Structure 1
Amino acid sequence: MSDTKMNFTFGDPEPVLNNRMTDYLGVFTDLGGKYWVPPVSLNGLAQTRGANSHHNSILHFKKNMILKWFEPSQMMSYSTLKQIALDFAVFGMFYVQIFTNGLGRPVRLGHLPSIAMRRGKKPGVFFKLLSDGTEIEFAPYEVIQINEYDVLQSIYGIPEYMGGIQSVLLSEDAGLFRRKYYKNGAHMGYIFLTSDTGLEEDDLKILSDQVSQSKGPGNFRSMHLNIEKTNAKEPVKIIPVGDIGTKDEFERIKNITRGEILSMHRMYPGLSGVIPESNSGFGDMEKIMQVYHELEVGPMQKPFLELNEILGRRVVEFREPKWNNQNVS
């Protein structure tokens, strides 16, 4: 029976993203019983913007489409609509504060960040959470909340893209893995095999340490394997572990998730910055824009027009686009 010794290590496994922000928790009151807690993580929704370039870009594109045909007024400024339009795209809801004059008449609407707003248990009461753990309580009916309808509850809005968040996170995972793959380098990610070298135990330990420390910050680690008393022709051999062909799988995942993200936002590729893969391009962009305005922009404007009905006056107005062969205005 041969005396065989083996010395090997791949290092600790790297954890993958464990994000449960899409779990629907239901609507409950806070510990103090003053306001309702949102059913999903609003911080999580905000952080998904940085997980994928298409997702974040499309959210801003929708905001810009709402702003493009907006007519500012004394009650609603361009800056305020820009803020609440992005809130609505990201969170599926927005909040405005009503500012009144000495006679109690509304004179201006101000933006309140959706991520910090909570609906109180008392009718018409809202709270704004502050970074120090305290909150501001607004007077009854001082705040207007407009939100997307959710079939499971009527307290908070839920964005339309909720069903596609897993595609956004998968795209992020694939992108991070690919980045680590290339940062890992061609000289790393291998098994360093030695056999019948005649090295002393201390020398083998030093060699093993050097190999294991040569790993990069990526997903592939290097390992030293020593086998004594063999009939190997080569005392030293390097066995690659990483396969550069894996990059094809990364590209396939990125392409699939990109299509899913465009679908979840109902976004035409030509309007999202995607480069056409053929010389034919994406067709007549003006006609595409007209269809997009008819099917998407018009409905996206409706929630903001609800403010007119609530306040009993025209505070938000959008002009009709004029289409021609040269531009869209």
Structure 2
Amino acid sequence: MNRAEILDYVECWSNGEWFEPPVSFAGLAKSFRASTHHSSALFFKANVLASTFRPHRWLSRHAFERWALDFLTFGNGYLERRRNMVGGTLRLEPALAKYVRRKADFSGFVYVNGWQERHEFAPDSVFQLVRPDINQEVYGLPEYLSSLHSAWLNESSTLFRRKYYENGSHAGFILYMTDAAQKQDDVDNMRDALKNAKGPGELPQRVHVRAGRQEGRHPAHSRVRGRREGRVLQHQERDAR
């Protein structure tokens, strides 16, 4: 999913049994929580729809909310009609859009969870709600695809700043020791103390030992600071929604 060619598709290709979606639905599911402004917008829409829905004996409010969230996330919503012993409708159950595929002969749908696990739905038992796409008519696509790059950039900047903080770089400096009279044991102890104060990651600290100068040891004032463009990007990504 994390490629500039995310929208450069033409059609849904068939593997002989079913059509593959034009974009990775697993990637859309992974990106669902990439940003608070992304998932919260989808949750808000689903909650509004659920609050205005009138429950039916075939479709509960909870089932409708699941169906609505699937439709908003993947651009496809599937309802399976479960039948009773005499063939009548028992209830309508949402099927996870992440795993539902249309059969290659358009005769129905199949549930694919992994390459070995598959379940073929009974004919005429699945209703598909589609958000139309301009390039193909097999699957729908969500309307937020163009904003995914912003959500991924927001996620990457947040993870980088978390790692920068956790590995101790937010409090880092370079310690210069220029007194030739320093004991090697003291130098080793200070080096170990600096190393243990940081977790795994970038921007390691170093201890420099040089020949004698007037100042024996001092921290350099050119402290590494993380810039704050990430916050600007977060606000832009939020306002874009």
- 1:255 aligned residue (198, 219, 235): 235
For 1:109-128, list aligned pairs within 5 A: 109-128=92-111
Who is 1:235 aligned against?
A: 216
Task: Please report the TM-score for the alignment, with normalisation by the length of structure 1.
Answer: 0.63
For 1:1-329, list aligned pairs within 5 A: 19-20=2-3, 23-24=6-7, 27-30=12-15, 33-101=16-84, 104-130=87-113, 133-185=116-168, 188-199=171-182, 204=187, 207-217=190-200, 220-226=203-209, 228-229=210-211, 232-239=213-220, 240-243=222-225, 246=227, 248-260=228-240, 262=241
Please tell me the root mean square deviation across aligned C-alpha atoms, in Å.
3.0
CA separation of 1:210 and 1:197: change in aligned 2, threshold 3 A:
farther
Give CA-to-partner distance per residue, 1:249-289, whole Å, 9 cap, x none: 333222222112x2xxxxxxxxxxxxxxxxxxxxxxxxxxx
Question: Does structure 2 conserve the Cα–Cα contact (< 8 Å) formed by 1:193 and 1:236?
Answer: yes
CA separation of 1:195 and 1:58: change in aligned 2, threshold 3 A:
same
1:209 Cα deviation after fit: 4.5
CA separation of 1:133 and 1:222: change in aligned 2, threshold 3 A:
farther
Percent same amino acid among aligned pairs?
31
Partner AA of 2:12 in structure 1: V
SS in 2 for 1:37: coil
Question: Does structure 2 conserve the Cα–Cα contact (< 8 Å) formed by 1:188 and 1:216?
Answer: no
Question: Does structure 2 conserve the Cα–Cα contact (< 8 Å) formed by 1:21 and 1:40?
Answer: no
1:181 Cα deviation after fit: 4.0
1:90 Cα deviation after fit: 0.8
Distance 2:161 2:204 in 1: 15
SS in 1 for 2:39: helix
1:85 Cα deviation after fit: 0.3
Q: How many residues align?
A: 238
SS in 2 for 1:146: strand
CA separation of 1:209 and 1:101: change in aligned 2, threshold 3 A:
closer
Question: Does structure 2 conserve the Cα–Cα contact (< 8 Å) formed by 1:92 and 1:148?
Answer: yes
Distance 1:149 1:123 in 2: 17
Q: Structure 1: state its 5+ residue gaps.
A: 1-17, 263-329
Distance 1:180 1:124 in 2: 50
Question: Does structure 2 conserve the Cα–Cα contact (< 8 Å) formed by 1:191 and 1:224?
Answer: yes
Higher relative contact order (CA closer than 8 Å, sequence separation 6+): 1
Task: Please report the TM-score for the alignment, with normalisation by the length of structure 2.
Answer: 0.83
Distance 1:243 1:217 in 2: 18
Distance 1:27 1:167 in 2: 26
Give CA-to-partner distance per residue, 1:160-202, whole Å, 9 cap, x none: 0010011111222232233334445587322122224345777
Question: Does structure 2 conserve the Cα–Cα contact (< 8 Å) formed by 1:212 and 1:224?
Answer: no
Question: Does structure 2 conserve the Cα–Cα contact (< 8 Å) formed by 1:51 and 1:168?
Answer: yes
1:20 Cα deviation after fit: 3.9
